[in-house]
Amino acid sequence: MSTRETLAPLVLAFAILGCSPSIDRVTRPHAIDSTGTGGGGNSGGGGGTIARVGITVLVEFDQRDAALVAALGGQKIAAGAIVSIRRDGDANPVEVQLDSAGRYEFRELLAGSYTISISRVLTATERAAAATVAADVDAFVGDMRVDAFSGSRTVALPTSFGRRGSLVVSEVYSGNPYDASTGTYYENGHYIELFNNSDSTIFLDKLTIGLGFARSHDHANFPCSLYEPLAADTLGLWTGFFWRIPGTGREFPLAPGQSSLLASDAIDHSAFNRLAPDLRSARFEFAGSNDPDNPAIPNIIQFGPRSISRSGFRIFTLVAPIIVARNLELGDLVQRPQPGSEQVTLARIPADAVIDVMVRKVIFDANVPECVGPPVAERFDRRPAPFAQLTGSTSLHRKVIYIRNGRAVLQRTGSSFADFRESLRTPGTVP
């Protein structure tokens, strides 16, 4: 049975349950074949002339970063940034530097669809200048998709400054590997990894983990407009699922550059499905009412208003905001019924309590229009990260933007699409 066959009946059910499915069509980007001889047949029909195109790349900084751009000397800050361009059907990206005017002209490219990205780490002098506006800015990045099948075109590449932040989500695994011998999918090996992206020790005690609510598709009985008040809410993120990390305040330190694995169950899941992860090295496990417990690992406890009883933690929606927030008490939060499912209660995590957010979106084809705009308010995340291998062994990893003093610094721009990439899972370590 294919992933599509498995998920298709669930899409409407997710909407009814208030789980907001997410569907996308994303093609895998690849590199330019500048010789014109590869890439799976890019010549004209019958051996005709190979189509060539030109793409000129300019940088367009996010308007929200206008003060930062000004503090760094204006648009000239784009000079020297690394631009990577990759064509569908090839294997490796081509990388170049923007010129002194902050632009680069690619000529004689094969016609096709391209993924273009940009990045530049600020120098120590530039970081000092940026600190007058934002203390933790250390780089800027951007990415976009471009279709180029004839002629030449100029594209403005949307670019944002990254804020290192403190505690960030570094990896999310939500795969359900398929066992052909039994014809079943294994759904109990999900995990989240947290990473200390700052320069000082962080204590994980009493932090809140939330699995957020998000809109995705325009179903007839559950239209996008029904969820607009929640999706566009800039005051906070809505969810029914909350967990609290244990501790009294200073029991669970996380040193700079270190990660902490939060497992659905801290067991070797490969004993039940050979493609499932071994999570015995987890620092914490989510406690459920009907799941195995590793007595050596501290439990993360659910505190409602909804609960996942089959396992301690499972990312079961097609679009899923993963939220890290400070210690919260349910009784202190604004609550409301979920639109279209009045028996379901949601609570809002206030914006000033949010430490980090990432949004995962499963790639899935369906004949249902997508909602226009991001699944949650743009102040929290501008675009979700696509996740393709739902039945495999891959996860979403936050990108390493550079190495400082021998340890990784992870990219954090407020766009999960830009900040995360899909690759083989590595629970407990940062690639």
Give domain status of residue 159, yes or no: yes
The share of the chain scoring above pLDDT 90, in percent, equals 64
Examine the fold and report which residue of 143, 163, 183 is the final residue of a domain before the chain moves on: 163
DSSP secondary-structure letter at 278? B
Q: Is the pLDDT of residue 46 over 50?
A: no
Domain at 156, CATH number: 2.60.40.1120
Instruction: Tell me if residue 406 falls in helix, strand or coil.
Output: coil
Q: Is the pLDDT of residue 17 over 50?
A: no
Examine the fold and report which residue of 140, 163, 186 is the final residue of a domain before the chain moves on: 163
90 and 77, same structural domain? yes
Q: Let me know how many helices (H) and strands (E) the chain has, helices first.
A: 6, 27
Give domain status of residue 283, yes or no: yes
Exposure string over 326-346, b if 16+ CB within 10 A, otherwise e: eebeeeebeeeebbebeebbb
158 and 176, same structural domain? no
130 and 195, same structural domain? no
The backbone torsions φ and ψ at residue 76, rounded to the nearest 5 degrees and listed phi first, read -65, -15
Number of domains present in the structure of the chain: 2
317 and 275, same structural domain? yes
Per-residue pLDDT tens over the stretch 162-196: 989 999 999 999 999 998 888 889 988 999 999 99
Cα separation of 431 and 398, whole Å? 9
pTM of the full predicted structure? 0.83
Q: Is the pLDDT of residue 14 over 60?
A: no
- Res 68: pLDDT: 95
Which range of residues forms the domain containing residue 93? 52-163
103 and 22, same structural domain? no
180 and 263, same structural domain? yes
Mean pLDDT (the chain) is 86
Q: Is the pLDDT of residue 1 over 90?
A: no
Per-residue pLDDT tens over the stretch 221-268: 888 889 889 999 999 999 999 999 999 999 999 999 999 999 999 999
Give domain status of residue 340, yes or no: yes
358 and 335, same structural domain? yes
Closest CA to 298 of 282, 314, 309: 282
Give domain status of residue 37, yes or no: no
Instruction: Tell me if residue 76 falls in helix, strand or coil.
Output: helix
